[in-house]
Amino acid sequence: MQTVDLAIIGGGPAGMAAAIGAHEQGIEDIVILERENALGGILNQCIHNGFGLHAFKEELTGPEYAERYIRKVTELGIPVKLGTMVLDITPDKEITAVNPKGMLHIRAKAIILAMGCRERPRGALNIPGTRPVGIYTAGTAQKFVNLNGYLPGREVVILGSGDIGLIMARRMTLEGAEVKAVVELMPYSTGLKRNIVQCLDDYDIPLLLSHTVTEIIGRHRIEGVKVSAVDENQMPVPGSEQFISCDTLLLSVGLLPENELSMAADVSLSPVTGGAVVNERLETTTPGIFACGNVLHVHDLVDFVSEESMLAGRNAARYLQNPEPASRREIPIRSGQGVRYTVPSFMDPDTMDEVLTIRFRVNNVYRNCYICLYFDADRVYRRKARILTPGEMESVVLKKEMFTEHKGVSSITITAEEATNA
Amino acid sequence: MVDVAVIGGGIIGCSIARELSRLRLRTVVLEKGSDVASGSSKANSGIVHGGYDCIPGTLKARFNVLGNSMFDKRSKTLDFPFKRIGSLVLAFHEEERIHLKKLLQQGIQNGVSDLRVIEAEEIRRMEPNINDAVVAALYVPTGGIVCPYEMTVAFAENAVKNGVEFRLGFYVETVRKQNELFTIAGPSGDLTARVLINAAGLYADTINNMLSSKHFTITPRRGEYCLLDKTEGSLVNHTLFQLPTKAGKGILVTPTADGNLLLGPTSDEIMDKETTATTFNGLREVLQTAQADVQSLPTGKIITSFTGLRAASDTDDFIIGQSPDVENLINVAGIASPGLTSAPAIAEYVYSLVKKITRAQEKPDFQPRRKAFPKFRHMSARERSEAIAKNPDYGQIVCRCEQVTKAEVLAAIRGPLSVRDLDAIKRRTRAGMGRCQGGFCLMRIPEIVAGELHIPLNEVTKNGSGTNLLTDPNKQSL
Amino acid sequence: MKTLTCINCPIGCLLTVSVDEHENQCIKGNLCKRGIVYAKAELTNPTRTVTSTVRLRNAAVSQLPVKTSSPIPKGTMRACMLALKYIEVSAPVAAGDVIIENVCGTDTDIIATRSMPAITDLHA
């Protein structure tokens, strides 16, 4: 059995940044295990621009963003095993993987989970109707168009207005297909305003908010969908049904962190994010196993994935250099009013860095509200926000000095509160 | 001219073809789909029934009990997944005990062995997640689960090995009989046969009624199902039935042979034989009914839903045997539930009929065994290393959820039936049947198919002509 | 009167643009100054970066991602796509390589956005 200090599962943006972060802290015995034949992960098929505005202060396409990290990983000489699929991870950090050269058994002192996420399929929605050809997740279609050079169809309906759905509406249109509508269950789109304008409005593609696909029609190839308006409980409104003919239905109905391997390693998962429960060092409930990027929680911007993953890499390095830390205080970070989840969900003020970024998402659209931070019942921080939407990741920064004034804190809560006149 | 033409490549046609391949006969199977098992045989409960609920004296009772007893041997000889896990018929009220007793009596009369009524305590030991409301159950130890399409493929592949010819994509438009010979014609050609076996499933009435004056009708009975993630496959250990009604055996909860959890089916008589759409009400009925069996149903773990059509005859029994007025026409029709269970026994019976009609001899070189290609997910660590050393394609996972390798996809394409559709590959390898439902492998398998067959990517199909996954190269219409 | 959605932040102000009697543009609906800047640019010369792919030979994938090196006028996007239709490139390619110079007279180049080694190099 091969041994290694740090094994990183996944060579996408998270895995690469994690490797760089760990290397910067002096860890050199690293291996990145990547199932594709190239580093870069999903960025390789995200050929649109808009990446890197936070990280590099310039606008890059997905492959360009990836290439900056690929170059760095290569320069640092970090070993990468491509075409290698990890099959199992045990709680004591033994990894079983496979590639065309054979089976790999690796014992790692620390592991960083960076497997990313996958798309929610049709089955999870249970849309009634037939099961013809022509129904794909938006990401699958993106791969066909951007990496294979083929369109899945000529007349397209897209269910879900997340960014991938919007981006694919533009891609398919530019490449010669007709996008007939983007159908969104919620009364708002979770996509960026910029994408709604530049991917839909630019091409006069209608966005049907508070609508859903209620039936799929077509024997061999999809011939059309029935689309209905939905009420406030997201149930179809009788009589509102319309038929839209199409030969392709793309689904952009959510992303799920891909945590099969994490479960095998006894990592506790959050029922809200589908990702691991982690402390401020991004360490999971299995000691020495860290998580970052979309496998931890689905991010809106890759820039934040890189930032978070660098931190995971640095923390893994610290763990390797000092695997048995002093006893820890674990203060829970709670999602209060308006907040859907936070990452991390635990923290220790004694071992934290000078600052700690807590990322979170809200559970609805809120206008003119306050993001508040509470230590027990005391509000220690408040910031006004003109708008908060579930599609955007928000953050608050905890400073170590905050704890000198509040010594015996037993819980931290983040809320999104309506602004009152008082 | 051939000796025997079998119309229909479902479980019935394929199991008959396999038994006929023991004889010195030229046998051809005509299947309108692009693969075997592309109708009712691919979308059913996959249950090997005990036989307690068939009315004594019927063909269903006879072939069910006999067929059930043949599964251990057949599944080993032909290498398809089968598990004799037993089934339970649940009673939720004291008043329902009388029905359990009736089923028990009926089962004994049909020759079902080891049946007994068990009490709540024993049920809870066997099924820890059973609903508190369950008071008693009929325990059927001979009940089992099978993978219906793999079983069909297994029979078909063994038939091919023993010389049966399969013509996939052969749609039968007309059948005539002249001068002792059947002429079967369709868009892809015609052929003549001495003996015609009508195993056309939902369309068995159409075939029969073109030849015989003794008409019958096959009515599609729609059944909708929900399939849950493998993480839920051990929610129950047995197949759980509720008390049967006039409409059938009712909605069951069962582990599948491949380790998922299956709920369904509904039962609606419909008109259209091609309506395999699922419906909002049907799926709701499945979930609501199944809810009664267990403490809590993890509905969030549904990975797909589907509809199957059972071919119900107007006599409510199987129609098996020589046509009363058309010599050498053998009908095997109305094979609704328990058709899958009965298939091996029906095939044996049809074999004896054909042998008598044709006076054909047994082949001395008949090869009874069929081996499925090795599955990476079933291999030990050592077997995996050995397989990859021999064939590096075993080291390339193309379906992450079901751990299917490129080697298996190629083995499916290169298999005895020369299939090329994604659905056919899926049925043989399970690629795309896992929780991501093809999100990962759908990007990989078309490339393997295109590479193997030397065709452009947009000629790869899902299930037959007109089902191309991709339409045009980028920018073609600009 | 014309309406636009501001793209600078998630609020997405609905901007209305009208022209007064002195031919002055009047932009309303913005909550901050960025809305005015955006609306003016969109009205005078809306531009977009086009990203697409061209065919690629001799590489592990059959498509090379490309983009316009700077945003081009919205009205020229379709012509730009047509210009890409028959382009085929052979690996090796480096990100930043110019694929088409001065595409459609926009003073903008089409450049590669991914480095792709030649297959022969991979196996060397």
CA–CA distance, B411 with B21 (Å, rounded to integer): 23
- Of A272-276, B204-208, C9-13, which range is least confident? C9-13
Taking an 8 Å cut-off on Cβ atoms, the answer to whether B393 and A101 are in contact is no
For the cut 90, the answer to whether the pLDDT of residue B442 exceeds it is no
pLDDT class of A422 with cuts at 50, 70, 90: very low
pLDDT at C121: 56
Is the bond preceding residue A344 a cis peptide, omega within 30 degrees? yes
The correct answer on CATH 3.50.50.60 for the domain covering A2-118+256-325 is yes
Q: Over the stretch A175-207, which tens digit does the pLDDT of each residue have? A: 999 999 999 999 999 888 899 999 999 999 999
Could you tell me how far CA B297 lies from the centroid of its own chain? 26
Listed in sequence order, the DSSP H helices in A198-288 are 260-264
- What's the CATH fold of domain A121-253? FAD/NAD(P)-binding domain (3.50.50)
Q: Does B399 fall in a domain?
A: yes
Taking an 8 Å cut-off on Cβ atoms, the answer to whether B475 and C78 are in contact is no
The CB density around residue B471, as the number of other CB atoms within 10 Å, is 20
Residues near A92 by beta carbon (within 8 Å), at least 6 away in sequence: none
pLDDT at C10: 77
CA–CA distance, A170 with A199 (Å, rounded to integer): 5
Structural domain boundaries enclosing C85: 51-123
Same domain flag for C86 and C33? no
Same domain flag for C111 and C60? yes
Percent of chain B exceeding pLDDT 90 equals: 92
Instruction: Kindly report the CATH number assigned to the domain that includes residue B101.
Output: 3.30.9.10
Same domain flag for C81 and C113? yes
CA–CA distance, A190 with A200 (Å, rounded to integer): 14
The CB density around residue B344, as the number of other CB atoms within 10 Å, is 27
pLDDT at A394: 95
Instruction: Kindly report the CATH number assigned to the domain that includes residue C111.
Output: 3.10.530.10
Residues of chain B contacting C53 with CB distance shorter than 8 Å: 474
For the cut 80, the answer to whether the pLDDT of residue A396 exceeds it is yes
Is the bond preceding residue B128 a cis peptide, omega within 30 degrees? no
Taking an 8 Å cut-off on Cβ atoms, the answer to whether B475 and C84 are in contact is yes
Residues of chain C contacting A48 with CB distance shorter than 8 Å: 51
Tell me how far CA of residue A323 lies from CA of A19, A315, A327, B370, in angstroms.
18, 11, 12, 54
Output the average pLDDT for chain A: 94
Tell me how far CA of residue A305 lies from CA of A11, A34, A256, C14, in angstroms.
13, 17, 15, 31
Q: Which of B444, B472, B475, B477 has the highest number of chain C CBs within 10 A, making it the mutation to test binding with C?
A: B475
Strand pairing category for B189-198 and B2-7: parallel
Residues near A146 by beta carbon (within 8 Å), at least 6 away in sequence: A45, A46, A47, A171, C53, C63, C65
Nearest to B470 among A96, A99, A152 (CB): A152
Same domain flag for B89 and B232? yes
- Rounded to 10 degrees, what is the CA torsion of B7, B8, B13, B14? 120
Nearest to B392 among A35, A100, A137 (CB): A100
- Rounded to 10 degrees, what is the CA torsion of A194, A196, A200, A202? -30
| DSSP annotation of A344 | S
Q: Are the C-beta atoms of residues B27 and B164 closer than 8 Å to each other? A: yes
Structural domain boundaries enclosing B386: 376-459
Q: Does A63 touch chain C (CB under 8 A)?
A: yes
Number of structural domains (chain B) is: 2
In chain B, which among 455-474 make CB contacts under 8 A with chain C? 474
Residues near A232 by beta carbon (within 8 Å), at least 6 away in sequence: none
Output the average pLDDT for chain B: 96
Q: Does C53 touch chain B (CB under 8 A)?
A: yes
* pLDDT (mean) for B338-366: 98
CA–CA distance, A121 with A128 (Å, rounded to integer): 14
Same domain flag for C27 and C59? no
A2-118+256-325 and A121-253 have identical folds: yes
Q: Over the stretch B159-179, which tens digit does the pLDDT of each residue have? A: 999 999 999 999 999 999 999
Same domain flag for C84 and C63? yes
Q: Does B189 fall in a domain?
A: no
Q: Does B438 touch chain A (CB under 8 A)?
A: yes
Same domain flag for B386 and B299? no
For A229, counting Cβ atoms within 10 Å of its Cβ (0-12 exposed, 13-18 middle, 19+ buried), the class is: middle
CA–CA distance, B56 with B158 (Å, rounded to integer): 33
pLDDT at C122: 53
For A330, counting Cβ atoms within 10 Å of its Cβ (0-12 exposed, 13-18 middle, 19+ buried), the class is: exposed
Q: Over the stretch A112-160, which tens digit does the pLDDT of each residue have? A: 999 999 998 876 677 888 889 999 999 999 999 999 999 999 999 999 9
Inter-chain Cβ pairs, chain A and chain C, closer than 8 A:
80
pLDDT class of A173 with cuts at 50, 70, 90: very high
Q: Both tokens of residue B292?
A: 């009664």
Residues near A174 by beta carbon (within 8 Å), at least 6 away in sequence: C50, C52, C77, C81
pLDDT at A325: 66
Q: Does B138 fall in a domain?
A: yes
Stretches in chain C below the pLDDT threshold 50: 124
CA–CA distance, B393 with A27 (Å, rounded to integer): 34
Residues of chain C contacting A65 with CB distance shorter than 8 Å: none
Same domain flag for C38 and C65? no
Same domain flag for B286 and B425? no
Tell me how far CA of residue B317 lies from CA of A13, B63, B271, B295, in angstroms.
61, 11, 19, 36
| Count, residues in chain C | 124
Same domain flag for C56 and C114? yes
CA–CA distance, A120 with A253 (Å, rounded to integer): 6
Residue B291 identity: Q
pLDDT at A420: 62
Taking an 8 Å cut-off on Cβ atoms, the answer to whether A149 and C53 are in contact is yes
Q: Are the C-beta atoms of residues B314 and B217 closer than 8 Å to each other? A: yes
Tell me how far CA of residue C36 lies from CA of C6, C30, C40, C42, in angstroms.
9, 7, 6, 10
Q: Both tokens of residue B63?
A: 């072939």
Same domain flag for B414 and B303? no
Partners of chain C (3+ Cβ pairs below 8 A): A, B
In the listed set B288, B310, B332, which residue is the last one of a domain according to the structure?
B310
Q: Does B396 fall in a domain?
A: yes
Number of structural domains (chain C) is: 2
pLDDT at C120: 72
Q: Over the stretch A308-347, which tens digit does the pLDDT of each residue have? A: 999 999 999 999 998 776 667 889 999 999 999 999 999 9
Q: Over the stretch C15-24, which tens digit does the pLDDT of each residue have? A: 998 888 888 8
Closest CA to A150 of B453, B451, B445, B471: B471
Same domain flag for C63 and C106? yes
Q: A229 in helix, strand or coil? A: strand
Closest CA to A52 of A67, A37, A38, A71: A67
Is B99 among the residues known to form the active site? no
Residues of chain B contacting C85 with CB distance shorter than 8 Å: 475, 478
Closest CA to B309 of A218, A130, A225, A217: A130
* pLDDT (mean) for B119-133: 97
pLDDT at A206: 97
Tell me how far CA of residue A44 lies from CA of A77, A232, B432, in angstroms.
21, 38, 23
Same domain flag for B129 and B229? yes
Q: Which of B396, B421, B445, B455 has the highest number of chain A CBs within 10 A, making it the mutation to test binding with A?
A: B396
Same domain flag for C59 and C103? yes
The CB density around residue B267, as the number of other CB atoms within 10 Å, is 22
pLDDT at A122: 72
In chain B, which among 379-418 make CB contacts under 8 A with chain A? 381, 384-385, 388-389, 392-393, 395-397, 400, 403
Listed in sequence order, the DSSP H helices in B95-147 are 97-110, 120-126
For the cut 80, the answer to whether the pLDDT of residue A419 exceeds it is no
Same domain flag for C31 and C55? no
CA–CA distance, A10 with A5 (Å, rounded to integer): 16
pLDDT at C124: 45
pLDDT at A124: 63
Map out the domains of chain A as residue ranges: 2-118+256-325, 121-253, 347-418
Nearest to C63 among A149, A192, A196 (CB): A149
Q: Are the C-beta atoms of residues A285 and A267 closer than 8 Å to each other? A: yes
Same domain flag for B137 and B253? yes
Q: Does A198 touch chain C (CB under 8 A)?
A: yes
Q: Does B477 touch chain C (CB under 8 A)?
A: no
pLDDT at B157: 98
Same domain flag for B140 and B255? yes
For the cut 70, the answer to whether the pLDDT of residue A421 exceeds it is no
Please provide the distance, in angstroms rounded to a whole number, between the alpha carbons at the two ends of chain B: 51
Instruction: Kindly report the CATH number assigned to the domain that includes residue B422.
Output: 1.10.10
Q: Does A212 touch chain C (CB under 8 A)?
A: no
Residues of chain A contacting B304 with CB distance shorter than 8 Å: 121-123
Q: Does B136 fall in a domain?
A: yes
For the cut 80, the answer to whether the pLDDT of residue A409 exceeds it is yes
Residues of chain C contacting B472 with CB distance shorter than 8 Å: none
* pLDDT (mean) for A262-277: 96
Partners of chain B (3+ Cβ pairs below 8 A): A, C
Kindly report the CA angle at B429 between B425 and B432, in degrees rounded to 5? 75
Q: Are the C-beta atoms of residues C13 and C3 closer than 8 Å to each other? A: no
Q: Are the C-beta atoms of residues B309 and B222 closer than 8 Å to each other? A: yes
pLDDT at C3: 87
Q: Does B270 touch chain A (CB under 8 A)?
A: no
For the cut 70, the answer to whether the pLDDT of residue A351 exceeds it is yes
For B361, counting Cβ atoms within 10 Å of its Cβ (0-12 exposed, 13-18 middle, 19+ buried), the class is: exposed
